Amino acid sequence: MSKPVYTRRDLGCWIDGAGGQDHRRAKLRDMLEECFQVSDPAMQSDIQRIQRYLEDDMSDDASEEDEAIEIIQHHTEEGLIWEQDGDFCLREEEIEE
């Protein structure tokens, strides 16, 4: 992977759960677009496929959202993690000692 898209300067809440499912899916599409710009051609086709799925009605298992989050995490600086607890937030990964 080249330079990460999401870094420590991006810590915080990116998707407010109160915005609803349509808002969440639109924001995930936008975030994937940022990843698309720096991805290799093979990943770009996956990103476009998932973006199309996010434009449709949600599947029964919401797997398209999980796939989107995996790609976003792949484009995130090491040591940071995306958490979902109603909201979608970027936080520093806690290291257990």
- In this predicted structure, what is the pLDDT of residue 27? 96
Q: Token match 């870094």: residue?
A: 7
Give me the pLDDT at residue 33, please.
Answer: 95
Task: Report pLDDT digits (tens) over 34-89.
Answer: 999 998 888 899 999 999 999 988 787 878 999 999 999 999 999 999 998 889 99
| 83 backbone dihedrals φ, ψ, rounded to 5° | -115, 145
Q: Whole-prediction pTM value?
A: 0.89
Q: What is the pLDDT of residue 97?
A: 65
